[in-house]
Amino acid sequence: MDLDFVCRHAGRPATALTRRDVARALLAVPSGVALVALPDLRRALMSVGNPLTLPFWESARTALASIESGAATVGDVQRWIESTGTEPILMTPSYFVWPDEDERGPVAQEMHDLLVAHLEERVRAGEIDPDALASGDQRARRAYEELQERWLATPLPDGRVPGFSVSDEQDEEMFSAWDEEEAFALSELRRVMAELTKQPELPVAELDRAAARLRALLADAGYPGDVLRACAGLEGEAMPDDDAELWLTVAAGIAGPVADLPEEGLLLEEFADLDREVSLEDEMLAHLCAIQHADWLAAVAALARKGPGVLASPERIARLIAESEDIDVDEHDPGDLTSTESLFEPVVALWACLGIVDDSGVLTPLGWWGLPQALERAWSPRD
C-alpha cells in the first residue's frame, strides 16, 4: 500500500486527499499491511504539501492497532471514520440511517456524495474541527451531528429534501422487492393447485354456518373481532352482503393484514412510551405481518395436497414448512421450528374463528376449499 494506491482508491490527486480518503484506503487493506504502510504514507503526503494533522495520524494508528488486535468493534471503526470530519454519520440522532454502501440506490448514492462534498466545504470553512472529533470532543461531535441533521432536512436547489429522498427510494425498492416476491409466490400457488388430482369444492352448508359466526364476531367490539376487522380492512366499513365474499376477504386479510388496530383513546404520551405493554391484538398482528410469503406458500400447499382431516396445528405447520419442497429451506434447527410455530399460533387461532380448522386444529373441507382462494386473493394485485 502506498500513496498511489490511496489516490486510485479515492479518485483524487494526492494534494486533494482528505482524512476520510486516507482512512477509507487504510481500511481497504488488511490492518497489518495498513499499519506497516502508515509512516511511509505520512511522509509521502508531507512531501506533496498535504500533511494532514498529527491527531489524525495518531487516531489512525490507534484504530488500526485495535483492529489488528481484534479489540475494535464495527461501531468503533465507524466512529473513527466519522471522526475524519467528512464521513456522513451512519445513524443520526433522529434515527436516519444511511444504507450500506453496496446497497445504496442511485438517489442514496447521490445524496451521500452531496453530503460528503458539503462536509468538505464546512471543514475548509472551519465549521468542522476534525482534530477535535478525532480526540473525542463531545461538543464537536454534537455540532457535527446537528450540522448533518440540518442538511438532511434542508431542501436542495431542486426542491428535494435529502433525507426524504433517500427514505422514499428505500421504500420504493422494498415495495418493488415485495411485489416481485408476492408475484412469484402466487404463480407457485397456482402451479400447486393446478397439479392437484382432486380440486376442492365449496361446502355451501359449512360456509353458511361459518359466515353467520363470522358476522357475529365482526359485530363485537373486542377480540377476536377487532383483529379480524383490522386484517380485512373492515374497520368502519360495511360488511359485504355475500357470505363467500365476506369470508374470503377476512381469510385473505389473515395472510395479508390490510390495516392496523385503531388507536382511538390512546393518549400521545402512551403511544410514545416504548415500555408500555403490548396488547394481545397488537402482538397477533405483528406475528401475522412477520410471516414470509414462502412460509405461507409452503403451509397452504401442503394442506391443499393433504386435504381435509389433516392436522393443522402450529407445530404441524412448522414441520410442514421445514419439510417443504415448494420453497428453498435451509436445515432447520429446533429454534427455527419454534419460531415458525410461534408465528403461526395466532394464525391457527383465527382460522378456527372462520371454520378453516375445527376445535382440534384439523383442516375442514371449508378450509381446504378456502385457504388457497384466500391466499390467491391476498397476493393478487389490488386495483
Quickly tell me which residue has 409452503 as its cell: 298
Cβ atoms of 253 and 233 closer than 8 Å: yes
Q: How many CB atoms lie within 10 A of CB 96?
A: 19
Output the pLDDT for position 262: 53
Quickly tell me which residue has 374470503 as its cell: 248
Cα torsion at 284, 289, 293, 297 (round to 10°)?
A: 20
Q: How far apart are CA 29 and CA 34, in angstroms?
A: 6
Element (H, E) at 228: helix 225-232
Count Cβ neighbours within 10 Å for each residue of 45-71 and write b for 16 or more, e otherwise. Answer: beeeebebeebbbebbeebbebbeeee
Mean pLDDT for 144-166 is: 94
Output the pLDDT for position 274: 42
**Shortest CA distance to 367 belongs to which of 317, 294, 315, 293?**
317
User: What global pTM score does this model have?
Assistant: 0.65
Element (H, E) at 71: none
Cβ atoms of 186 and 379 closer than 8 Å: yes
Q: How many CB atoms lie within 10 A of CB 288?
A: 21
Q: How far apart are CA 73 and CA 119, in angstroms?
A: 25
Domain range summary for the chain, segments of one domain joined by + = 3-167, 196-261+278-379
Q: How far apart are CA 56 and CA 51, in angstroms?
A: 10
Angle at 196 between CA 337 and CA 353, to 5 degrees: 55
Quickly tell me which residue has 377476536 as its cell: 224
Distances (CA, A) of 164 to 112, 152, 159: 13, 8, 11
Distances (CA, A) of 102 to 9, 13, 106, 284: 16, 25, 11, 35
Q: What is the pLDDT of residues 299-342, one digit of tens each?
A: 999 999 999 999 999 999 999 999 988 887 655 555 688 899 99
Output the pLDDT for position 265: 41
Q: Which pLDDT band, with edges at 50, 70 and 90, does 32 fall under? A: very high
Distances (CA, A) of 125 to 36, 50, 54, 82, 222: 33, 17, 20, 18, 61
Mean pLDDT for 61-87 is: 93
Output the pLDDT for position 329: 63
Q: What is the pLDDT of residues 279-302, one digit of tens each?
A: 677 888 888 988 999 999 999 999
Output the pLDDT for position 268: 37
Q: How far apart are CA 352 and CA 113, in angstroms?
A: 54
Beta strand residue intervals within the chain, DSSP E: none
SS3 361: coil
**Shortest CA distance to 137 belongs to which of 50, 59, 57?**
59
Average pLDDT over the chain, rounded to an integer: 89
Cβ atoms of 48 and 105 closer than 8 Å: no
**Shortest CA distance to 94 belongs to which of 44, 39, 35, 162?**
162
CA neighbours closer than 13 Å in the CB half-sphere of residue 151: 21
Q: What is the pLDDT of residues 182-192, one digit of tens each?
A: 899 999 999 99
Q: How long a stretch of residues is the chain? A: 383
Which residues touch 353 (CB under 8 Å, ≥6 apart)? 213, 214, 217, 224, 228
